[in-house]
Amino acid sequence: MPSPIQNKRIVLGVTGSIACYKAADLASKLVQSGALVDTVLTEAAREFVSELTFKSLTHREVHTSLYSPNSNLSINHVALAESADLIIVAPATANTIAKIANGISDDVLTTTILATTAPIIIAPAMDANMFDNPATEANVTTLIGRGFFIAGPAEGRLASGLMGKGRMIEPFDIMGAASMLLGKDGDLSGKKIVVSAGGTEEAIDPVRNITNRSSGKMGYAIAEAARDRGAMVSLVAAPNHLAKPIGISVTNIQSAEDMKKAIEDECLEADALIMAAAVADWRPLEKLDSKAKKDKSDHWSLELVKNPDIVAGINSSKLIKVGFAAESENLVENSKTKIESKNLDFIVANDITAADSGFSVDTNRVTIIHPDGTTEVLPLMSKYDVAHSILDRVKSGF
Ligand code: C5P
């Protein structure tokens, strides 16, 4: 299944902020995802970036005036508004937000926004004091009330050199918001899907733990793909280095026991549970309160106890349960045994011996094994595409 951005007409409105340089990256990412991007630059934006930047990235006309004789906007000033599947204003200054909130239409961007029925993402970028100003707060509240999706801003270092809330969120996050809005009526809308990701950490003492090599990438890809098909997604995530995906509720946990509690809570109302996490099979019998000293002896034995099997313990007839199996030998045989013992609808087996699949990489090569013994060997794909293949099979079980 392609990204919901593919073949969509997206109007990218760029307004006058130093964060304009990030808008060029966003335009490039949208084009790479298959969108047709019509860029609109405000007069102030043109002080920061040129028409040529966006023309080169999008291979399409860049709009700056309603009256240019070369533009079809001079004949039909709402042409962009009518053709857009989605409008993204990134960066959005306090001034443009104020104009939109008050229905002003004095340039291409504000006219297009006033005349469209497409969903609109606003990614504010401004000094923290401007964002905190009651006027901006009121304007943002007005836009939220009218159904605009306000993406950010983030906290961090601002162009003024000060720290505060006002940084435009990263293009990756704006892409996430775009996928979510364009996919919201997808084939999983109305379904709640719980996904686990990452490798649990089992504490030995306050500084040491037992963990594994899971990066969390497969679980995050499943969560994003389900969001992009309209599902309500809860991600239960063991420690990892991945950015929090927009539009997904994330519960961060550490140990297998924490994960079990979080998953039990989330599954009360869920339609599917996809257990991509690498749950530690064992944990230290006790967690030491202070750091164990190394100078006592040359040997140290840790007593381990078995962790509960999370997915096996979740039992609800209406819940589709999908497990993962990371195997280095007898992939199919071992996976079949797990389907039975964990009462799964199907299992996704990874070959972790290949360099281009399994841990840490962005691609995966999986075999899907069903309870009746049928196996489907899928080719090497991006983890996002593997995620869609898994969701196709989850959907057919609903
Ligand atoms: O038995 P094994 O660890 O290979 O099973 C893998 C599957 O079972 C994965 O989906 C994993 O998330 C899940 N699992 C679990 N609780 C455990 C161990 C594994 O839910 N304690």
Q: Which residues pair with 12 in a beta bridge?
A: 39, 88
Determine the average pLDDT of the residues in 139-168. Answer: 93
Site to substitute for ligand 1 among 322, 324, 339, 341, most atoms within 8 A of C-beta: 324
Q: Which atom of ligand 1 is nearest to the CA of 196?
A: 12
DSSP letter at 73? G
275 touches ligand 1 (CB under 6 Å): yes
Q: How far is CA 88 from CA 31, 199, 282, in A?
A: 14, 36, 47
The CATH architecture assigned to 192-395 reads: 3-Layer(aba) Sandwich (3.40)
Determine the average pLDDT of the residues in 119-125. Answer: 98
Tell me the C-alpha distance between 396 and 110, whole Å: 43
Q: How far is the CA of 101 from the centre of ligand 1 (A)?
A: 50
Tell me the C-alpha distance between 90 and 98, whole Å: 15
User: Contact, 276 vs 222, CB < 8 A?
Assistant: yes
Determine the average pLDDT of the residues in 143-158. Answer: 94
pTM over 0.95: no
CA nearest 23: which of 50, 3, 59? 50
pLDDT in tens, 329-381: 777 788 889 999 999 999 999 876 776 766 778 888 899 999 988 999 999 99
| Residues assigned a catalytic role | 212
Q: DSSP alpha helices (H): ranges in the chain? A: 20-32, 45-48, 51-58, 79-83, 94-101, 108-115, 128-132, 134-145, 171-183, 217-227, 256-267, 310-313, 331-342, 383-396
How large a percentage of the chain has pLDDT more than 90?
A: 81
State the pLDDT at residue 358.
64
277 touches ligand 1 (CB under 6 Å): yes
The secondary element (H helix, E strand) that includes residue 284 is strand 282-284
Residue ranges of the domains in the chain?
9-182, 192-395
- Residue 223's identity, in one-letter code, is A
Q: Does domain 9-182 have CATH number 3.50.50.60?
A: no
192-395: same fold as 9-182?
yes
346 touches ligand 1 (CB under 6 Å): no
How large a percentage of the chain has pLDDT more than 70?
A: 98
Tell me the C-alpha distance between 256 and 275, whole Å: 12
